[in-house]
Amino acid sequence: MHDVQPDQYQDLLAEKQTQIETLFEAFDTPALEVFASKPLHYRVRTEFRVWHEGDRCFYAMFEPGTKKDPIEITDFPIADESICELMPQLMEKLNQTPILKKKLFQVEFLHTLSGEKLVTLIYHRQLDEEWQAAAQTLKSDLGIHLIGRARKMRLLMDQEFVIERLNVDGKAYQYKQIEGSFTQPNASMNEKMLSWARSVTENSQGDLLELYCGNGNFSIALAENFRRVVATEISKTSVNAALDNKAMNGLDNVDFARVSAEEFTDHMNGVKLRKRLAGMNLEEADFQTVLVDPPRAGLDEGSCKLISQYPNIVYISCNPETLKTNLELLSKTHDIKRFALFDQFPYTHHIESGVYLTRKA
């Protein structure tokens, strides 16, 4: 459970800053750039268990490590205002409609700063035509996109995505965000992260290689800083969204490939050529900068060696401990020029970081 204390937010953020500065004090780092979140209403993606008690159901959360004794959620102030407004309206409708309430297990919300709302209802039963009719009414009444899920079943009432519109350095970018795929939960902080990444790569030479690109979150916003961007991602759903985002933003210098970082490396080194990379004229690429946004496990030693081959590195991290381990290797060949803390998850121990490194002279 989140202990939300807006009046203490700045003190909590200062603690995170001290934690990062202490953890990386052995490195020759510049002054830490700290980006604060909105203290309230910052999450545009969230989910709740649904607990049934008598004839009613309600949103529920549990203390860590427990599955019993649900805590009823009637107010969730860290969620976007539009989610907070929709939550009681949706629950009232569910409780008024037995076919929608029956064996409902979980509710997921995916909203945007631009006002689109997608709700996923997850069940412990199969969904029939009666459910679909009631769901269509619910969708119309609340003005939302709606998806029903059950075991081996996924029913779209209209579409499986929302279109986010981000404002970064006075420029508007559009992103298709697909239900069930990763998107940044703190959209306002994402705008700050993208602005920071644009600033560290301003006036860059050559091309950008991005690994773990997801739906093209960074690729799209950084495209104008480079002659060309080549971005890789293993998820088919994310690559398809990235291609749509490329088209929506009118970009012609970005290419996406559905391969892993290891497959890309093998292809470039001639170890094993990949059909998905054929015809992309990679032999003409001049990759001067590489961007990585790995999972919490960070990069393995091989991946660190791979990115150390490039003059400039942008490393976005969601785990300071694995970032420290990776920087112990990368700092042998590169100097840390910029270091940022992005408070993506206020009131939690989670810390997002950004590091910009350049090859040692």
Exactly one of 47, 202, 318, 328 is catalytic; which is it?
318
List alpha helices for 308-352, DSSP H. 320-330
Return the H-helix or E-strand segment holding 218: helix 217-222
Contact 317, 352 (CB under 8 A): yes
- Per-residue CA distances from 98 to 40, 56, 94, 207 (Å): 34, 10, 7, 56
Phi, psi dihedrals of residue 281, rounded to the nearest 5° = 55, 45
Concatenated DSSP letters for 273-320?
A: --GGGTTS-GGG--EEEEEE---TT---HHHHHHHTTSSEEEEEES-H
Report the alpha-carbon distance of residue 217 to residue 43 in Å, rounded.
17
116 as an active site residue: the answer is no
Q: Which residues contact 248 (CB under 8 A, 6 or more apart)?
A: 163, 174, 175, 176
Name the DSSP class of 37: P
304 as an active site residue: the answer is no
Report the catalytic residues. Answer: 318, 352
